[in-house]
């Protein structure tokens, strides 16, 4: 998940909690304020009735025009002692004028007349419908929450992308950066301290990588050259020794084995050097290549080798496969796949190369499926074959990754299948702009 989504989710959760708590406090505060105002009115009304009752004056009508009502009853001393002097409560009362029941605020108080008698006065007045109020508050809170959430998301996304522009610029530069190649300088001026430090750290790291890359290339070149020379000398001397007629058959057999071992070491050295150069991107002879034409040429070159084991070869051209890549690496990829199809084939088998517009598939008869998880690993060999270094498919895999090609192995109808396909290249980075999007 992108960073902006993490931020927005957490803001939404925090906002939900804050608004919920605020709604509860707002509702309680509003109800308390309403009750306080109604209670003051009830107190004034009850005091007026008590004053008239104590003065012996005529009491007002039990139901006034404002829907206020009262009930005055005489109570015993014991009852008066058990009750609180003033009690407030919410209840439902019947309004005679409206002939309906409405919520009301009720005040109950007990007072004593001049003769020592006790009286209970109950005064009521209509009040707000608290359930309706609660529903209204919930509705408006939800509307407020949605509006605030949309507003905060838009503002947060806009602020995020505005402030993260230097990071996206750096990410695009790193994505386009090629070690050992001539790259565009990093243009990422910013006043944000953290991003300035990140730019500086990135440039320092790139400098160290470039130095290490140059040292590695130099070491590989020197090591390969130093190893190839003594290996070639050993092979030449062995060949001279093998021409000596005084050698016994046993001695000649041992020398042949030694010669084969040195040749195998030489092949390994060349293959490992090639892999290193591929991984380091040292092949720059990039051009547009017609792989159909190249396959026709190399299959014809290998005809005699295939005839030696009575292997039938067929090239099926369903379309033209054109790639832009290093010609040297394309040759290595095709020849390695053709050699692999020959080495890991059966006597009297067949090789079928199918070329289409978007890729090619090398199919050859075999004795059993290879391990798909490890078939492209270095030195992996499904079945040990004489003369195989175990690096051919690893080299093909490295070339495909460098050239943004997909390489897939599967076993179908008794045949090993190696499929190479061209894949589109996309960079999945957001645009650094002033607005979200």
Each residue's pLDDT tens digit, 336-370: 899 888 888 888 889 999 999 889 999 999 887 88
Q: How many CA atoms lie within 13 A of 42 on its CB side?
A: 26
- Quick one: pLDDT at residue 368? 77
Say yes or no to pLDDT of 221 above 80. Answer: no
Q: How far is CA 12 from CA 6, 142, 156, 309, 339, in A?
A: 10, 13, 11, 71, 60
Sign of CA dihedral 278, 281, 285, 290: positive
Contact assessment for residue 385 and residue 402, using Cβ atoms and an 8 Å cutoff: no
Between 36 and 428, the more confident residue is: 36
Does residue 267 lie in a domain region?
Answer: no
Does residue 321 lie in a domain region?
Answer: yes
Does residue 370 lie in a domain region?
Answer: yes
d(CA 341, CA 416): 8
Residue numbers of the domain that contains 12: 3-150
| Average pLDDT rounded to a whole number, residues 310-319 | 89
| Average pLDDT rounded to a whole number, residues 77-95 | 82
The band of 52, judged by pLDDT with boundaries at 50, 70 and 90, is confident
Sign of CA dihedral 425, 427, 428, 434: negative
Between 191 and 277, the more confident residue is: 191
Bridge partners, residue 422, by sequence: 405
Say yes or no to pLDDT of 207 above 80. Answer: yes
d(CA 38, CA 49): 17
d(CA 180, CA 401): 17
- Quick one: pLDDT at residue 437? 32
For 153-193, the pLDDT digits (tens) are 888 888 888 888 888 899 889 988 877 777 888 888 888 88
**At which of 134, 150, 166 does a domain end?**
150
- Quick one: pLDDT at residue 89? 86
**At which of 105, 120, 150 does a domain end?**
150
Does residue 184 lie in a domain region?
Answer: no
Q: For the chain, give percent helix, strand, coil, nearest 5.
A: 55, 20, 30
- Quick one: pLDDT at residue 86? 87
State both tokens at 250.
């046993």
State both tokens at 386.
């004489």
**Which range, of 170-179, 204-213, 254-263, 326-335, averages the lowest pLDDT?**
254-263
Say yes or no to pLDDT of 385 above 80. Answer: no
Contact assessment for residue 48 and residue 59, using Cβ atoms and an 8 Å cutoff: no
Does residue 208 lie in a domain region?
Answer: no
Q: What is the DSSP letter of 61?
A: P
Say yes or no to pLDDT of 227 above 60. Answer: yes
Percent of the chain exceeding pLDDT 70 equals 86
Q: Which of 186, 211, 215 is nearest to 201 (CA)?
A: 186
**At which of 94, 121, 150 does a domain end?**
150
- Quick one: pLDDT at residue 361? 93
Domain count, the chain: 2
The band of 116, judged by pLDDT with boundaries at 50, 70 and 90, is confident
Q: How many CA atoms lie within 13 A of 168 on its CB side?
A: 17
Residue 181: other Cβ atoms inside 10 A: 8
- Quick one: pLDDT at residue 435? 34
Say yes or no to pLDDT of 426 above 50. Answer: no
- Quick one: pLDDT at residue 23? 80
Q: Which of 278, 263, 264 is nearest to 326 (CA)?
A: 278
For 87-101, the pLDDT digits (tens) are 888 887 776 666 777
| Average pLDDT rounded to a whole number, residues 51-70 | 74
The band of 67, judged by pLDDT with boundaries at 50, 70 and 90, is low
Say yes or no to pLDDT of 428 above 70. Answer: no
The band of 201, judged by pLDDT with boundaries at 50, 70 and 90, is very high
d(CA 281, CA 217): 10
Say yes or no to pLDDT of 231 above 80. Answer: no
Give the 3-state DSSP-derived string for 298-322, with helices as H, strands as E and coil as C. HHHHCHHHHHHCCCEEEEEECCCCE
The band of 432, judged by pLDDT with boundaries at 50, 70 and 90, is very low
Does residue 185 lie in a domain region?
Answer: no
- CA trace torsion 374, 378, 379, 382 (10° rounding): 30
Does residue 262 lie in a domain region?
Answer: no
Q: What is the CA radius of gyration of the chain?
A: 46
Assign residue 369 the CATH number of its domain.
3.30.565.10
| Average pLDDT rounded to a whole number, residues 98-110 | 82
- Quick one: pLDDT at residue 388? 59
Sign of CA dihedral 399, 404, 405, 407: positive
Q: Which of 96, 95, 54 is nearest to 46 (CA)?
A: 54
| Average pLDDT rounded to a whole number, residues 290-301 | 89
Q: What is the DSSP letter of 3?
A: H
Say yes or no to pLDDT of 393 above 80. Answer: yes
What is the pTM assigned to this prediction?
Answer: 0.46
d(CA 158, CA 437): 9
Average pLDDT, the chain: 80
Q: Which of 232, 325, 329 is nearest to 287 (CA)?
A: 325
Does residue 98 lie in a domain region?
Answer: yes
| Average pLDDT rounded to a whole number, residues 417-431 | 66
């Amino acid at each position: 998940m992108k960073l902006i989504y993490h931020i927005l989710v957490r803001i939404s959760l925090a906002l939900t909690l804050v608004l919920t708590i605020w709604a509860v406090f707002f509702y309680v505060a509003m109800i308390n304020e309403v009750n306080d105002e109604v209670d003051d009115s009830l107190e004034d009304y009850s005091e007026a009735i008590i004053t008239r009752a104590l003065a012996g004056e005529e009491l007002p009508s039990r139901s006034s025009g404002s829907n206020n009502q009262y009930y005055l009853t005489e109570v015993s001393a014991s009852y008066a002692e058990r009750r609180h002097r003033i009690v407030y409560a919410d209840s439902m009362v019947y309004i005679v004028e409206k002939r309906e029941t409405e919520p009301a605020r009720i005040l109950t108080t007990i007072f004593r007349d001049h003769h020592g008698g006790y009286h209970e006065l109950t005064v009521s007045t209509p009040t707000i419908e608290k359930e309706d109020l609660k529903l209204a508050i919930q509705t408006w809170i939800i509307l407020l929450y949605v509006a605030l959430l949309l507003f905060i998301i838009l503002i947060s996304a806009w602020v995020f992308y505005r402030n993260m522009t230097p990071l996206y610029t750096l990410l695009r530069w790193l994505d386009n950066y090629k070690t050992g190649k001539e790259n565009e300088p990093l243009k990422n001026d910013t006043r944000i301290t953290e991003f300035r430090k990140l730019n500086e750290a990135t440039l320092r790291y790139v400098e160290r990588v470039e130095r290490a890359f140059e040292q590695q290339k130099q070491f590989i070149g020197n090591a390969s050259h130093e190893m190839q020379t003594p290996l070639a000398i050993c092979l030449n001397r062995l060949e001279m020794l093998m021409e000596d007629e005084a050698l016994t058959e046993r001695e000649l057999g041992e020398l042949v084995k030694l010669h084969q071992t040195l040749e195998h070491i030489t092949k390994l050295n060349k293959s490992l050097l090639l892999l290193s150069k591929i991984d380091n991107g040292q092949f720059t002879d990039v051009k547009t290549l017609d792989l159909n034409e190249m396959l026709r040429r190399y299959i014809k070159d290998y005809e005699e080798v295939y005839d030696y084991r009575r292997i039938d070869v067929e090239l099926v051209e369903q379309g033209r496969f054109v790639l832009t890549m290093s010609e040297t690496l394309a040759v290595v990829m095709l020849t390695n796949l053709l050699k692999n199809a020959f080495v890991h084939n059966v006597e009297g088998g067949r090789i079928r190369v199918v070329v289409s517009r978007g890729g090619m598939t090398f199919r050859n008869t075999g004795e059993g499926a290879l391990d798909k998880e490890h078939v492209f690993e270095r030195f992996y060999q499904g079945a040990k074959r004489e003369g195989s270094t175990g690096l051919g498919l690893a080299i093909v895999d490295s070339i495909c990754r460098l050239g943004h090609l997909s390489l897939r192995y599967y076993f179908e109808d008794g045949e090993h299948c190696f499929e190479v396909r061209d894949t589109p290249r996309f960079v999945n980075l957001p645009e650094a702009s002033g607005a979200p999007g």
